[in-house]
Amino acid sequence: MAERFNEKANTLAQEYWRLKEIAANTASSNRLVEIERLLEKGIGGKLKDQLEAEAKQLRKEEADRGGASLRLSEVKKELLELTADLAPNLDLIEDNFFPYDSDHEPIGEQFFAALTDLFFGAPTPSIPFKVATLSKEGIRVNATAESSSLEILSYIIMILQESAKKRLGMQNTIDNCCALLRQNDFAFIVLKTLLNAGKRLGVKEIREISHREDKAYTELVRSDLYDKELINGVAFLMSAEWGYSMIKEYDGKYEPTDFGEWVWRICNAELSREEGAGKGRRTGVSNSSLHLQKILTFLRK
């Protein structure tokens, strides 16, 4: 698969969007119902001939749409399977930039849009991380003293592969992280606070924001105990329990890693899909009704 990954990715992405457009076009259904009702009531002449011809065409479109929906499900699976073994054809690095191999097609915007649509329901033409950006031009990495370009490339490929495996129901790292996050109130609070702030925060700032925005919860827990548990939440997010760091410390301030942010987004997207499907309690969600209420309240903001 890796020999022609780029071409396969582009082909599947184009088919994904083509089928999605066909499957979403339901305007003809209402028109067909109107025509069939009129024909049943009785009508003749040239109008009848015209409406019968139009109804025949609309029935064909209905059948095509049904077939497109079935094929779309297959293409979604194929896209996710391809991403679970993500191996883009790249050229040699140039100034922290991996261009696509000139012997292969560049990966187009449609592929990145399809992935972000499948993962989050919000398609984007590129996939930006803090440490790198994947786009139709190639992969640009932000190498640091701590991480080389190859380490960063491996890291973002891992995130996309694990995200795809989760959607496929395969064994993956993110499932465990979602369960840990849902079971630990204070890790949840800390990560939510950091992501909402959109900047690095110290423990004092995290505490102040949490006390202000989480009054209902802080009223149930002694202030000193709440603050202690917030610190424990920070330490837990930095522990090895997650497989990869969820947050990082920079001179006494904390920031979510790309992995931590993707875990958060993937977990919440999954909960939103399950709510939309009318499912009940989710696997891995804490049995605490208070904790479940906190998660759902945040998701609905």
| Interval 55-94: pLDDT, tens | 777 777 677 777 778 889 999 999 999 999 999 999 999 9
Two tokens, residue 98: 């991996």
Distance, CA of 70 to CA of 211 (rounded, Å): 49
Indicate whether 106 pLDDT > 80. yes
pLDDT in tens, 222-256: 777 888 889 999 999 999 999 999 999 999 999 99
Sheet of 138-141, strands arranged across: 97-99, 138-141, 132-134, 127-128
Q: What is the pLDDT of residue 284?
A: 36
* pLDDT recorded at residue 107: 98
**Considering only CA atoms, which of 265, 219, 272 is closest in space to residue 246?**
265
Domain assignments of the chain as residue spans, ordered by start = 2-168, 173-299
Q: What's the predicted TM-score (pTM) here?
A: 0.79
Q: How many CB atoms lie within 10 A of CB 72?
A: 20
Provide the Cα torsion 198, 202, 206, 212; round to 10°. -100
Digit-coded pLDDT (tens) for 42-53: 777 888 778 878
